[in-house]
Amino acid sequence: MQHRTLGTTDLEIAPLVLGGNVFGWTADEKTSFRILDAMLDHGLNAVDTADLYSAWVDGHEGGESERVIGAWLAERGPEVRGRIVLITKVGYEGGLSRDHILEAAEASLRRLRTDRIDLYFSHKPDPETPIEETLEAHERLIEQGKVRWAGASNYDADGLAAALEAGAAEGRARYAVLQPEYNLYARSEYEDGLRAVAEREDLGVIPYFALAAGFLTGKYRSEEDFSKSARGAGVKKRYWNDRGRRIVAALDEVAASAGPGVTPAQVALAWLRDRPTVTAPIASATSVGQLEEIAAACELELDEAAVARLDEASG
């Protein structure tokens, strides 16, 4: 599989990153191990998690996903750890103060059972903490060898530009990678603002919700379908409207004309992968079958007419 360089970093990743929010949530440990093994078998090499995952589930406190990945890494051993680009995040809860970042990184390393995080994201901006303090904490972790690269998630264009300017100073990390929400349904925030900053600054870009939490697979087509997944209620609230249905209809058409066995999920991922500035979409899977389907998107090339049809439906 052709790898892509993540912006100005030395990280080389397959053109699809495996999302890890499902591990310990909608995928139990045994299934998660199988999905992670299948990730490697199908040529993917990057996995994205966060210290927060999956704190939104009753009885969970966050760290469940990192623990599952850590147990898998411990079982598979150092050779597998060496092949993986391990991505996690800090500060969705608890902010981005120096003390919180340094403590949270130690806790993530313990749960992940590793000595380094390859890419460490500020999960969302923290208006209470000066950006300089946040970037100094990231730099400290990089100097200590506990983190290799820093990234920003959920920043708006102005916040990102300011963070990059602050990161140019000595003693501060520069955010080298951006993790925005971006998919066929949610386009404007990225395309109308963030994209110009990412392009100008040569950032690596790994968008999340590449499948709109499953909606863009086309599995939700009637009211009854929303009971199919723990994600169903959220999907219905956000995407079940005329525009959403138009996008799924376009995905169906493009998939049918792209060749036998091509699915809407694969079309949605291939479209996003080839958007300007995107390095690789992030998507999760709750079974090996789903993983196999989305991994195959790495080989799918869409022609101009297909892209135009998708742009028309989602614009």
Ligand X SMILES: NC(=O)c1ccc[n+]([C@@H]2O[C@H](COP(=O)([O-])OP(=O)(O)OC[C@H]3O[C@@H](n4cnc5c(N)ncnc54)[C@H](OP(=O)(O)O)[C@@H]3O)[C@@H](O)[C@H]2O)c1
Residues that bind ligand X (CB under 6 A): 19-22, 26, 48, 153-154, 179, 208-214, 217, 219, 229-231, 265, 282-286, 290, 293-294
Compare residues 11 and 265 and give the one whose CB is closer to ligand X: 265
CB atoms within 10 A of CB 170: 5
Nearer to ligand X, 129 or 217 (CB): 217
Q: Residue 294 or residue 313: which is nearer to ligand X going by CB?
A: 294
Give the nearest distance from C-beta 289 to ligand X in angstroms. Answer: 7
Running DSSP on this structure, what letter comes out for residue 129? S
Other CB atoms within a 10 A radius of the CB of residue 183 amount to 26
Q: How far is the CB of 171 from ligand X (least distance, A)?
A: 26
Q: Which is nearer to ligand X, 144 or 237 (CB)?
A: 237
Q: Beta-carbon neighbour count of residue 215 at 10 Å?
A: 27
For the chain, helix, strand, coil in percent to 5 are 50, 15, 40
What distance in Å separates the CA atoms of residue 11 and residue 107, rounded to the nearest whole number? 23
Taking the complex as a whole, how short is the minimal distance between the CB of residue 156 and ligand X, in angstroms? 13
Q: What minimum distance in Å lies between the beta carbon of 257 and ligand X?
A: 19
CB of 258 to ligand X, least distance (A): 16
Task: Give the residue closest to ligand X by C-beta.
Answer: 19
- Determine contact, residues 93/141, Cβ cutoff 8 Å: no
The nearer residue to ligand X, 160 or 285, going by C-beta atoms, is 285
C-beta of 276: minimal distance to ligand X in Å?
A: 20
Q: Report the residue number, 52 or 141, with the smaller CB distance to ligand X.
A: 52
- Which amino acid is present at 283? A
| DSSP sequence for 70-117 | HHHHHHH-HHHHHH-EEEEEE-SSS---HHHHHHHHHHHHHHHTSS-E
Burial (CB count within 10 angstroms: exposed 0-12, middle 13-18, buried 19+), residue 200: exposed
